[in-house]
Chains A and B, each alone.
Chain A
Amino acid sequence: MDDYILEIKDMKTDILKDIDFDLKAGEIHVLVGLGESGTRDFIRALAGIIDVSGEIFVKNKLSKFNLEVLRKDKIEFIFEKPTLFEDLTIEENISLNNFPSKKYLPLINWKGVKKNYEKVISMVNIDNIEQDTKVSQLSTEDKKKLAIAKSFLTDPEIIIMHEPTSDLAALSIQRLNNVMYNFKQRGGSVIYISKHWEEALKIADRISVLSYGEIIGTLDSKEANSNPRKLMNMIMGNEIKNEKKSEQEKENDDFLNFLNGVFKASELLTSEYELKDVLQLLAEYATNIMKADGCTINLIDKDTKTIIDTVNFTTNDKIEAKIKDSVIFEITEKDNIYYASDREKDFLYLFESLNNIKSIICLPVFVRSHVTGFIQMYYENVYIYSEKELLYLSTLGRQAAIAIEDTRLIGRSVLLQESHHRIKNNLQYIISLINLQKKFIEKDENNIEGILNNTIDRIKSIASVHDLLSKEKLGRSIINVKDIIKAIVKFLKNSKIDMILDLNDIFISYEKASAIALIINELVSNSLEHAFKDLDTGKIQIYCKRNEEKIDLIVKDNGIGFKEDFEISTLDSLGLSIVHSIVTKQFRGKIEIISSNGSEIHIEIPLSI
């Protein structure tokens, strides 16, 4: 009989069914389970926090499912969310469990406390923080590290941890792994409960798989590492697909295929193909290499949560999978490979439309640590990927990132050439505005200052376009109309008048942006200047949303309204005649004025120009 330091027999809770689990001395036994497999219940049952039946033996002696009891058996728990006293300092928290006492007098040995503290703190590396810092002031990561340190400090023989790496950064995870390894060397044993099977593979001696409340199998580390697919199949509960070729041959084929794809993609990237073409081809290669049935690559803007562009490739037209936009952005928050299959309850809810697809693998694409793209692979069958395929997908993701970055850079250098042209154009724009304004001075001689201020505002609105361009983190030459409106409202607003904005994200090209900025400036300035004479308060509402292939813009105020015989197409008011001309002649759009309860100007601008 094996020498087990811990044995669990017939453990039963609401979710868990007849769990048998054992732990050898000096072993790290990982319990892997996804989603609702019951991993959380496992640790809570052991600690006695939930109702549990069954037996637990520590060093062959019957014990209890109870945290305090097990602690006396030198078993420590590390929960996913650490239990620390927020108001006490680090040092105090550490000491609470286990005050080292002088041998004969039950007094606290503070020197011992300090010594232990230092030993453990250096072990998990929070040593750049003063020990008398209150826990509530620590970062989430440091709190987790502290909780971990605390547990090791009591010098246990067994540590049971649940999702220890959550809230930890990569470097800290590395340190934790070292700490665990040292612990193991000194004879310690660990039960490591997690959904991260990839982490498990790295540190485990044995891996048991928990699925829907049952332990469906146990692999030893060697077996699991050489064939992660087997592990995955167990985790997903699937049969291994039958392969006719030998495993090795297939792997070679795959690798050659993959290399080919990578080379082709590199070729493309240094060619003059458009970004969209490159991505289209990448989608095709990815489908091939990942043995998928289809692939979609999206270009996304994470900050405004909009999908800028999409390319699609499918191997047959009977399949369809369109993930909801909101889900895409949720996945990018996690920055990890995302796998889902129809075995999970919420699979259907991920999609806007779904046809004949049973599993998906998704990967966010990073450009300079900024999520800028999203790759989706979909499968007609429930597909389990191997670690190698994961590597392929990550590489494809990086190729996509390079393609995107490349375009941006090329765009940048072309932009440099164009920038002189743009500057000249802008200056011409401003000169034209001032020139037009000159013609009105004779009519309005007493208001030179007002006229000059108008001119300044116009120039500011053009400048705001460039300001936004310069802030565009990814160097794209597109501008969000919403940002233009907000910028202009900011410099025009006045304390008497409320500005109410109802805006959507609409991305437009640079060429259109200046003209639109001018329109907004004119409409809002006009309201501010003329609508509220003799009134103490007022309200201006700006509505700007996309309506299929048009932009709908409405600027409305509750002021005195327009004069009855007001004709926007005459040059009575320079500002509004500019608006009229730009909208109707340059954009070939529509403009309508309604004068009731104030004034309302309704503009439609087609997006296709």
Chain B
Amino acid sequence: MSKSLRILLAEDEYIFLMSLKSDLEDLGHQVVEEALDGKEAVELAIEKKPDLILMDINMPSLDGIEAIKQINNVLSIPAIIITGYSNKELVKRATDVGIFGYLVKPVDIKEIGPAIDVALTRFQEYQAVKEELDDTKEALESRKYIERAKGILMDRKNISEPEAMKLLQKKSNDTNTRLVVIAKDIIKADEALNF
């Protein structure tokens, strides 16, 4: 990956932070912020909106996973955690929160590059899937409204389903409004009339 990323590093052992920073810079990235505890990490992430976060799991004031959870409530930033432990429970907690990779101490310099690549790729896929999901949700919602509107038309005008659909589409084309908006209007009108 050749793109240069703006990275937030969160690590309480400063020597390690210095070493990581140096490696990241060698890889062509830019460490825009350094945090020495969880709280600071959250504040800086929200403020500076980096492209990537590298965070140690074991930090004072707030642990790594919690911190990332809090950040993700506000912003969507890919994160890689660095940990001394590697156990199933930890992995599960991490994935639940939206972490896209983890490195186990002692960290081999050669692993950092690939870990970043993988994390970014996963993140992008995740964003894409999320978008698709949102779209799908929206489509599903729209579908519901349209079906309801069709039903109303069929009742009131005593027409068949295909005829009702044609009516809706015509209205949509004529007024240059989306189908779902027309459908919602019909539903509203129906509710008003029934009242």
The answer to whether A and B assemble together is: yes
> In this complex, what residue of B is CB-closest to A586?
B14
Task: Flag if A436 contacts B22 (CB, 8 Å).
Answer: yes
Q: A425-B84, A581-B18 are in contact. Are A435 and B109 (CB under 8 A)?
A: yes
Residues in A neighbouring B85, C-beta threshold 8 A: 421
B14 CB contact (under 8 Å) in A421, A427, A428, A585: A585
Residues in A neighbouring B20, C-beta threshold 8 A: 432
Q: Considering the chains assembled together, what is the distance between the CA atoms of A439 and B20 in angstroms? A: 12
Count residues on chain A whose CB falls below 8 Å from chain B CBs: 19
**Is B16 an interface position by the 8 A CB rule?**
yes
Residues in A neighbouring B36, C-beta threshold 8 A: 585-586
Task: Flag if A435 contacts B23 (CB, 8 Å).
Answer: yes
Task: Flag if A424 contacts B84 (CB, 8 Å).
Answer: yes
* Interface size bracket, B side: 10 to 19
**Minimum Cβ distance to chain B for residue A455 (Å):** 13
Q: Considering the chains assembled together, what is the distance between the CA atoms of A435 and B24 in angstroms? A: 12
**Is B106 an interface position by the 8 A CB rule?**
yes
**Minimum Cβ distance to chain A for residue B112 (Å):** 11
Residues in B neighbouring A428, C-beta threshold 8 A: 13, 16, 84, 105-107
Q: A428-B107, A432-B15, A585-B14 are in contact. Are A439 and B22 (CB under 8 A)?
A: yes
**Is B12 an interface position by the 8 A CB rule?**
yes
> In this complex, what residue of A is CB-closest to B58?
A421
Task: Flag if B16 contacts A429 (CB, 8 Å).
Answer: yes
Q: Considering the chains assembled together, what is the distance between the CA atoms of A265 and B36 in angstroms? A: 41
> In this complex, what residue of B is CB-closest to A582?
B14
**Minimum Cβ distance to chain A for residue B108 (Å):** 8
**Minimum Cβ distance to chain A for residue B153 (Å):** 68
* A 548-584 to B, binary, CB cutoff 8 A, 1 in contact else 0: 0000000000000000000000000000001001100
**Minimum Cβ distance to chain A for residue B40 (Å):** 11
Task: Flag if A518 contacts B15 (CB, 8 Å).
Answer: yes
**Is A129 an interface position by the 8 A CB rule?**
no
* B 67-96 to A, binary, CB cutoff 8 A, 1 in contact else 0: 000000000000000001100000000000
Q: A436-B19, A586-B36 are in contact. Are A431 and B106 (CB under 8 A)?
A: yes
A421 CB contact (under 8 Å) in B18, B84, B107, B109: B84
Residues in A neighbouring B84, C-beta threshold 8 A: 421, 424-425, 428
> In this complex, what residue of B is CB-closest to A577?
B18
A578 CB contact (under 8 Å) in B15, B34, B106, B107: B15
* A 410-434 to B, binary, CB cutoff 8 A, 1 in contact else 0: 0000000000010011011101110
Q: Considering the chains assembled together, what is the distance between the CA atoms of A515 and B16 in angstroms? A: 11
**Minimum Cβ distance to chain B for residue A481 (Å):** 19
Task: Flag if A432 contacts B18 (CB, 8 Å).
Answer: yes
Residues in A neighbouring B34, C-beta threshold 8 A: 585
Q: Considering the chains assembled together, what is the distance between the CA atoms of A436 and B12 in angstroms? A: 17
**Minimum Cβ distance to chain A for residue B157 (Å):** 73
Q: Considering the chains assembled together, what is the distance between the CA atoms of A585 and B31 in angstroms? A: 15
Residues in A neighbouring B14, C-beta threshold 8 A: 515, 581-582, 585-586
**Minimum Cβ distance to chain B for residue A586 (Å):** 4
Residues A426-478 near B (CB distance < 8 A): 427-429, 431-433, 435-436, 439
Q: Considering the chains assembled together, what is the distance between the CA atoms of A272 and B160 in angstroms? A: 74
Residues B40-79 near A (CB distance < 8 A): none
Supply 5 further A-B pairs (C-beta < 8 A) apart from A428-B16, A585-B14: A428-B106, A433-B15, A435-B19, A518-B15, A582-B14
Could you list 28 examples of A-B contacts with CB < 8 Å? A421-B84, A424-B84, A425-B84, A427-B105, A428-B13, A428-B16, A428-B84, A431-B107, A432-B15, A432-B16, A432-B20, A433-B15, A433-B19, A435-B22, A435-B23, A435-B109, A436-B15, A515-B14, A515-B15, A518-B15, A581-B15, A581-B18, A582-B14, A582-B15, A585-B36, A586-B13, A586-B14, A586-B36
Residue positions of B touching A, CB distance < 8 A: 12-16, 18-20, 22-23, 34, 36, 84-85, 105-107, 109
Report the 4 A-B pairs with minimum CB-CB distance, sorted nearest first: A432-B19, A586-B14, A428-B106, A428-B105
